[in-house]
Amino acid sequence: MKGKINYSVTDGIAILEVDNPPVNPLSDGVRHGLIESMEKAESDDSVVGIVLTGKGRSFIAGADISEFGQQIEGPSIHDAFEKIEKSTKPVIAAINGSALGGGLETALCCHYRVSSKQGFIGLPEVNLGLLPGAGGTQRLPRLVGPAEALKIMLSGRHIPAVKALDMGVIDSLSEGDIVEDAVAFAKDVAEKNETHPLVRNLNEKVLAARGDENIISEARALAAKTRKGQFAPGKIIQCVEEAINLDDFDEGMKKEAEYFIECLLNPQREAMIHIFFGERAASKINDVPKETPKMDINKAGIIGSGTMGGGIAMCFANIGIPVHIVDQDEENLKKGLAAIERNYKFMVDRGRMSAEQMEKTFGLISSGLSYEEISDVDIVIEAVYENLDLKLEIFKKLDEAVKDDAILASNTSGLDVDALADCTKRPGKVVGTHFFSPANVMRLLEVVRGEKTSNETLATIMSLGKVLKKAPVVSLNAPGFIGNRMLFGYTTQANKLLLEGALPHQVDSALENFGMSMGPFRMLDLVGLDLGWRARKLSGTESPITAKINDALCDLDRYGQKNGKGFYNYVEGSRAPHPAPENEAIYEQVSKDNGFERREISDQEIIDRCILALVNEGAKILEEGVAQRSGDMDVVGDMDVVYINGYGFPIWRGGPMQYANMEGLDVISAKIDEFAKNDPEFWQKADLIGSLSEVKGRFGDAPAPEDRKPVSGFNKSSVAGNL
Contact set with ligand T1G (CB under 6 A): 22-23, 25, 58, 61-66, 77, 98, 100-102, 105, 124-125, 128, 130, 132-134, 136, 277, 280
Omega within 30 of 0 (cis) for the link into 577: no
CB 2 to ligand T1G: min, Å: 9
- What secondary structure does DSSP assign to 92-152, as a single string? EEEE-SEEETHHHHHHHHSSEEEEETT-EEE-GGGGGT---TTTHHHHHHHHH-HHHHHHH
- What secondary structure does DSSP assign to 218-286, as a single string? HHHHHHHHHSTT-SHHHHHHHHHHHHHH-S-HHHHHHHHHHHHHHHHHSHHHHHHHHHHHHHHHHT--T
Do 93 and 85 contact (CB within 8 A), yes or no?
no
- What's CA 295's distance to the chain center, in Å? 25
CB 383 to ligand T1G: min, Å: 27
Helix axes 249-265, 136-144, angle to 10 degrees: 130
Q: How far apart are CA 530 and CA 557, in angstroms?
A: 9
584 included as an active-site residue: no
Q: How far apart are CA 481 and CA 624, in angstroms?
A: 12
270 included as an active-site residue: no
Burial 283-293 (b: 16+ CB within 10 A, else e): bebeebeeebe
Q: What is the DSSP secondary structure assignment for residue 363, as one 8-state letter?
A: T
Cβ proximity to ligand T1G: between 528 and 655 the closer is 655
Cβ proximity to ligand T1G: between 257 and 704 the closer is 257
Active-site residue (options: 36, 82, 105, 330) = 105
CB 6 to ligand T1G: min, Å: 19
Cβ proximity to ligand T1G: between 72 and 221 the closer is 72
Nearest Cα neighbor of 129 from 285, 328, 273 is: 273
CB 66 to ligand T1G: min, Å: 5
CB 132 to ligand T1G: min, Å: 4
Nearest Cα neighbor of 514 from 605, 410, 399 is: 605
Cβ proximity to ligand T1G: between 61 and 154 the closer is 61
Cβ proximity to ligand T1G: between 2 and 562 the closer is 2
Residue 452: how many CB atoms within 10 A of its CB?
Answer: 18
Q: Identify the burial level of 251 via C-beta atoms within 10 angstroms of its C-beta, where 0-12 means exposed, 13-18 middle and 19 or more buried.
A: middle
Cβ proximity to ligand T1G: between 284 and 575 the closer is 284
Phi/psi for 685 (5° steps) reads -65, 140
Do 658 and 268 contact (CB within 8 A), yes or no?
no
Cβ proximity to ligand T1G: between 20 and 484 the closer is 20
Cβ proximity to ligand T1G: between 97 and 528 the closer is 97
Phi/psi for 494 (5° steps) reads -60, -45
CB 627 to ligand T1G: min, Å: 17
Do 377 and 299 contact (CB within 8 A), yes or no?
yes
Q: How far apart are CA 622 and CA 632, in angstroms?
A: 7
Nearest Cα neighbor of 434 from 401, 369, 400, 386 is: 386
CB 646 to ligand T1G: min, Å: 20
- Alpha helical stretches, state H, 379-527: 388-401, 417-422, 455-467, 483-500, 504-514, 520-527
Coil, strand or helix: which one is 426?
coil
Q: How far apart are CA 317 and CA 300, in angstroms?
A: 9
Q: How far apart are CA 102 and CA 24, in angstroms?
A: 11
CB 30 to ligand T1G: min, Å: 11
Q: Which amino acid is at 175?
A: E
CB 242 to ligand T1G: min, Å: 16
Cβ proximity to ligand T1G: between 41 and 134 the closer is 134
CB 196 to ligand T1G: min, Å: 23
Partners of 19 in the beta sheet?
4
Active-site residue (options: 17, 85, 125, 512) = 125
Q: How far apart are CA 447 and CA 410, in angstroms?
A: 10
- What secondary structure does DSSP assign to 79-107, as a single string? HHHHHHHT-SS-EEEEE-SEEETHHHHHH
CB 62 to ligand T1G: min, Å: 3
Cβ proximity to ligand T1G: between 286 and 539 the closer is 286
Cβ proximity to ligand T1G: between 7 and 276 the closer is 276
Give the torsion through C-alpha atoms of 460, 462, 466, 469, to 10 deg: 110
Cβ proximity to ligand T1G: between 102 and 560 the closer is 102
Q: What residues are annotated to the active site? A: 105, 125
